[in-house]
Amino acid sequence: MASSARKVGFLLRGWNEIPEFVGSSVMALIGFGLAGSALWLYYEKEAWNKKYKMHYTVMRPDDPRIANIKKHSGLDN
């Protein structure tokens, strides 16, 4: 119990002495959390697979990404 009270006291002391550092640390932790969740959603939804590109990409027939292209293309194949 004394350990948790020391941690809270340490945070309160830091907030009173250097509030800029403690506040910016909290904002940095929130930013890292948001960036991590955005990156996870980017790869989860396969956002790298753009429907329209400015250049052609040649893929081999045994490439596993072809299933995603066929699933998301909207073409009548």
pLDDT range class, residue 49, cuts 50, 70, 90: low
How many Å separate Cα 52 from the centre of its chain? 24
**Which whole number is the average pLDDT over 39-44?**
85
pTM of the model: 0.55
Rg of the chain's alpha carbons, rounded to an integer? Answer: 24
Buried/exposed 34-69: b ≥16 CB within 10 Å, e otherwise? eeeeeeeeeeeeeeeeeeeeeeeeeeeeeeeeeeeb
Element (H, E) at 18: none
What residue type is 17 in one-letter code? Answer: E
Domain boundaries, the chain: 2-72
With a cut of 50, say whether residue 40 has pLDDT above it: yes
pLDDT range class, residue 10, cuts 50, 70, 90: confident
